[in-house]
C-alpha cells in the first residue's frame, strides 16, 4: 500500500492535534497522503503548517485506500465519493457511536499498522440507487437507506408500491424506508425493522408510522426493483438518501434498485458482525 486519500468532518476541533499526529504517523510509514480540500483547510485552522496535497471531493484521485476520519455521517459521505472507484474505505471514529467505523482515533497506531501489514479484510456492502421520473437527483446512491418522508405537513402519504413489476401494496403513513443490510441498524431499526447481517443479499421495506397494523417490515432480495408512486395533499414529499434530502413532486414515481457497485468496507481482523453488535449496540447486555 502506497497511497491514501483522507476525508474528515469539521465538527471536532479538539481532535485536530490528534488527527495531525495520525497524518504524521502515516507519512512516517512511507505513505503518500492527500487530503480532501475543505478538510485540509479545516486542519490548518489549528495554526499548524499542514503541507499535504489536496483534492476536490468531486475529483478523488486514485489511491489504495480512503480514510474516513469522523463518525458515521463522515463515513457515508466518503462512501458517496469513492465507492464508484472501487476504493476500500477504512473508518476511524471521531464521533460518538461510530457504528460503521473500524476503530477509534486513539487506536490509530495499531489500526494503521495492522492495515499496512495486511491484517484486515474487506466486506462488500450492497448499495442502493434511486431515480425519480420528475426531477434529477444529484447524488442518487445510498449505503444505508432511501427514505420517503412527509414534507412540511401532517398529511399522510399514500405510497403505491410495486415489486419486480408486480403490485405489492399501498403503504399509508408517515413514510417508507428501503434499507440495505448495512442500514438495517440505522433508521430501519428505529422504526422496528429487522437487523440484518451486513453482507447478506437482501433489502428491507419498513413503513414509518403505518396507518394499518398489518403493514409490517418486509425483507426482499437485493436484485429487486422497487417502484413507489407517492401521493399526498402536499405539493411535495422528501426523498432522504443517507440523509441528503431531495424534494419530489407529489404524484411522481421513484425507482429503487441495487447500485452497480458496492461499498468496500475495511474491517480489522477480529472485527465481525457479532462483536460489533455486542460492543456498539450492547447486544444482550443487562442495562439495569
Q: Which of 212, 217, 214 is nearest to 177 (CA)?
A: 217
- DSSP codes of every residue in 117-157: TT-EEEEEE--EEEEESSS--SS-EESSEEEEE--SS-PPE
Residues with catalytic roles: 72
Residue 210: its H or E element:
none
253-258 vs 128-132, strand pairing mode: antiparallel
Give CA–CA dist 46/270, Å, rounded: 35
Instruction: State the cell numbers at 247.
Output: 424534494
CB-based contacts of 124: which residues, under 8 Å, 6+ apart? 199, 262, 263, 264, 265
Give CA–CA dist 69/75, Å, rounded: 8
Q: Which of 90, 92, 77, 115 is nearest to 18 (CA)?
A: 92
Task: Decide: 180 and 145 in contact? Cβ < 8 Å.
Answer: yes
Amino acid at each position: 500500500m502506497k497511497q491514501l486519500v483522507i476525508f474528515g468532518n469539521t465538527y471536532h476541533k479538539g481532535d485536530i492535534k490528534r488527527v495531525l499526529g495520525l497524518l504524521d504517523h502515516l507519512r512516517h510509514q512511507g505513505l503518500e497522503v492527500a487530503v480532501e480540500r475543505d478538510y485540509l483547510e479545516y486542519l490548518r485552522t489549528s495554526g499548524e503548517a499542514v503541507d499535504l496535497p489536496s483534492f476536490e471531493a468531486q475529483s478523488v484521485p486514485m489511491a489504495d485506500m480512503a480514510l474516513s476520519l469522523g463518525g458515521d455521517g463522515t463515513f457515508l459521505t466518503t462512501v458517496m465519493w469513492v465507492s464508484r472507484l472501487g476504493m476500500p474505505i477504512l473508518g476511524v471514529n471521531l464521533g460518538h457511536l461510530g457504528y460503521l467505523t473500524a476503530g477509534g482515533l486513539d487506536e490509530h497506531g495499531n489500526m494503521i499498522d495492522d492495515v499496512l501489514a495486511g491484517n484486515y479484510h474487506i466486506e462488500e456492502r450492497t448499495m442502493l440507487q434511486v431515480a425519480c421520473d420528475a426531477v434529477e437527483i444529484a447524488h442518487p446512491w445510498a449505503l444505508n437507506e432511501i427514505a420517503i418522508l412527509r414534507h412540511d405537513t401532517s398529511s399522510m402519504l399514500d405510497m403505491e408500491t410495486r415489486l419486480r413489476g408486480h403490485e405489492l401494496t399501498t403503504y399509508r403513513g408517515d413514510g417508507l424506508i428501503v434499507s440495505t443490510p448495512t442500514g438495517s441498524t440505522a433508521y430501519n431499526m428505529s422504526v422496528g425493522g429487522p437487523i440484518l447481517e451486513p453482507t447478506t443479499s437482501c433489502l428491507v421495506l419498513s413503513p414509518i408510522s403505518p396507518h394499518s397494523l398489518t403493514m409490517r417490515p418486509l425483507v426482499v432480495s437485493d436484485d429487486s426493483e422497487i417502484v413507489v408512486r407517492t401521493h399526498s395533499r402536499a405539493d411535495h414529499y422528501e426523498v432522504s438518501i443517507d440523509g441528503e434530502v431531495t424534494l419530489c413532486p407529489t404524484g411522481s414515481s421513484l425507482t429503487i434498485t441495487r447500485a452497480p457497485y458496492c461499498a468496500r468496507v475495511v474491517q480489522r481482523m477480529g472485527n465481525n458482525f457479532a462483536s460489533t453488535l455486542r460492543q456498539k449496540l450492547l447486544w444482550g447486555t443487562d442495562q439495569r
